[in-house]
Structure 1
Amino acid sequence: MHPTTNLLIVHYGDDWIRGSEACLLNLLDSLSTNFKPVVWTNNKVLVRELTAKGVTVHSASFELISLQQSAFNVKASLALYKTALAIISEHNINLIHVNSGAPCQWMTLAAKAKRIPMLCQLHSPYNLHDRFTLTLHSAQRLVAVSHAVAKPMLDEGYPKQHLTVVHNGIPNIDLSQPLDVRDRLNIPSSARVLVSVGSLITRKGFDKLIQALARLNSSQDQHHLIIIGEGSERLNLINQIHTLNLNTRVHLVGEQSNVSAWLAGGCDLFVSGARSEAFGLVLVEASLAGLAVVAPNVGGISEVIEHNSTGLLYENGDNEIDSIVGAVKQLIQSPETREVLTNRGKQVAKDRFSLEGNTTQMESIYNQLLEEGVKQSWWAWFSSLLRPLTTFFRTRCLAECKSVRSAHEA
């Protein structure tokens, strides 16, 4: 019988349940009984979810240090460090999992002081400023949700042997009770229905999908677009819909608890307009729901969707709207191709992106860390913090010197 490992999971995020929060909840639901989780977070919505599941939770405000601020709240940072030490002692923590980059700012030091093995899971790429101020390089082990997320850290010198890419996984989805989206939204049976899911923010590119829909509806064929999600861009999207006279063709249905039922409810295609994407978990959901996928070739999406095999990828840029329209038309006009992509996509999603596989990989990394312990010296830990400065020197200082020299020579 394996001894129980007391696992502290620290999560930083806004008050919602989206990508990294959903992945955390899935992990907690599937962890073996060898791990007893305790969660420390600033996310009030997540606190309610975890409390309902019976998970021990500590809630607090997390104030970060940023070089872009006029002043640092050193007192707040010290308080977070002290709270971390107290939680580790209270629950006799054996292992720490930081579920986003931000808490590394105080957790790597706390883990080092207490000699507790720690990993940080990166759900998105971080810019140079954040890689430095969040002290990401000081994490004993990194887990990235895609190779695209891992690349900036590896390029900057983070040891390859200490970084593992673990693609997100999703639980088996229940498609036994799909809803009829055409009936729900009064969409004619002859119309083509496109669907997309995500937060209504600029990065998700729903404005691009609305532009593409306007082009598609310039022909005799009737196309509708269902957008599932909520966010700060709702009013801008409504204005765009009104301007393009698409009020009856675009359906903003808000947040839905049964996304899979909507995806499997009679839609023809899943379309993404993302300007950037760390992984694209919803693309896996769409594939499992039996939809062919059209998505941009950005970030980690190409690790989820293989062009012309499990979906169609297009390039963002000057011709992106034409590319979206062309890909949609190609699949709408060729049911045979759509069926092939759908079947392959569904099988790949089952084989490569299951929650069981994801959890097995995470537990394997947990066990490796427990076996390794903490061996890094304080000097090595401190030196790791300075890696982003080499990038700054190379990309900013040397570039500036080169520019000045070129100006003098001219």
Structure 2
Amino acid sequence: MSRKLHLTAFLKPPGEYLAAWRHPEVDPGAGVDFESVLAFARTAEDAKFDAVFFADLVGVPLESQDVLSRVSVVNDSFEPTTLLAALAAGTSRIGLIATASTTYNEPYHLARTFASLDHLSAGRVGWNAVTSLNDGEALNFGRSAHVAHADRYARAEEFHDVVVGLWDSFADDAFRHDRDSGVYFDPDGLRSLRHKGEHFSVEGPLNIARPPQGRPVVVQAGASEAGRRFAARVAEVVFSGVRDLAAAREFYADIKARAAAFGRDPGSLKVLPALSVLTGETRTEAESKMDTLRTLMPPQVALAHLGYLLGGVDLTALPADGPLPDLPESNQSRTAQAEVYRRARARGATIRELAAEISADTGTVVGTPVEIADRMEEWFRTGAADGFTVIFPYLPGTLDDFTRLVVPELRRRGLFRTAYEGATLRDHLGLPRPERGTVP
């Protein structure tokens, strides 16, 4: 059987573009309209995507009220694990991935939540393990500032290990339900965790049977040195924001080599870089759609988002037509900050020009279905990706266009499935069901 692309649909209703809610074809309140989100998930399921993927923040970024009042995503969206429970009942085959923080949760609670979701969905759930991003989140959990980068990754590693240990509390065949003997479960099939570490003390066991997948699929998106190490050790799906083909190849080779150094089969880790797409029947049609979207972005939102990518910096007091000054290393996403600096230094771009790139959404690939598929095939065949996390600037339009136009082109090339061949998210991704007690 030939190797196939893996596709996850990154759903951020009403769209990834910060002004998507203003688009005339968009429901501005889609972020908290379940029927809309369910329709998006079913569209992806009909197209045979591996999974839908929901990001999350546990707080609102520390921006001005003027900026915050002009965006929808950070202000008006479902808590994703709750959403997955509802989507599990409204879908039947597609995988369901939710983001949950290792910084502002406790391992037992999160292990129980995702084990429950895996049972509710009959084995279709994945956990995107993140360390959270900003001070606005920290303020909601009794802290004055976000946990330092190194500290939160150290916590994340231990957090993951505790969660996995809890998922393995019961053997797969522990629950006998033997009415005649009165034995509900075999006590020999139960193992308490008894974990005592630097960050956590968790006795266990988890009070639910082992998940249908053995363990929900673990997803990770860190691209810093600490993030890459964490992903290589524990992740089964790695999401990255790399845009450049050469950089994507370097990341792919590095993360696979690191996984091998941890004694893992590199094929057990799927690298799915972000791919924001906008397509149409013709290039002229696709570019016209992009032009419409670009008119919707308020300039103060673009400038604030640039500051957010740089680590939560207020850029309003700096000369807009001046160069980007040296700033302290970010305690949010260091990779995002480094990418902004790389683009700025490469062209000598001013702050105004960098903000304009955000308004123009220059990271979105705009083209015909053939052009989009050409790019995907090149990355897939030249060691840059095992598939893609597909990002949709506005919903449902760009999702509908991708499934209607690009997916058939990928199938014509033999690159994407025409039907699901298994029932679980692990089946879709070609990942084995882990044995109890194995690492990661």
Greater relative contact order structure (CA < 8 Å, 6+ sep):
2
Q: Structures share a fold, TM > 0.5?
A: no
Whose helix proportion is higher, 1 or 2? 1
The bucket for the TM-score relative to the shorter chain is 0.3 to 0.5
The structure with the larger Rg is: 1
Normalized against structure 2, the TM-score is what? 0.37
Normalized against structure 1, the TM-score is what? 0.39
